[in-house]
Amino acid sequence: MAVKVIIPTPLRPYAGKQESVEMEAGNVREALAGLTTRFGELKKHLYSDDGRLRSFVNVYVNDEDMRYLEKEETQLRDGDIVSIVPSIAGGARK
Partner 1 sequence: MSVSPLRISDALLRRIQAHGVETFPHECCGAMLGRDSETSREVIELLPLANRRDDSPRNRFEVTPSDVQMAEKKAREMRVDVIGWYHSHPNAPARPSEFDREHAWPWYSYVIVSVEASGPRDTKSWRLRDDRSAYDPEVIESVAQSASI
| Shortest distance, position 34 Cβ to partner 1, whole Å | 20
* Contact footprint for partner 1 (CB under 8 A): 8-11, 13, 41, 44-45, 54-56, 58, 60, 65, 85-94
| Shortest distance, position 41 Cβ to partner 1, whole Å | 8
Q: How far apart are CA 94 and CA 77, in angstroms?
A: 41
Q: What burial class does residue 51 get, using C-beta atoms within 10 Å of its C-beta: 0-12 exposed, 13-18 middle, 19+ buried? A: exposed
78 versus 94: smaller Cβ distance to partner 1: 94
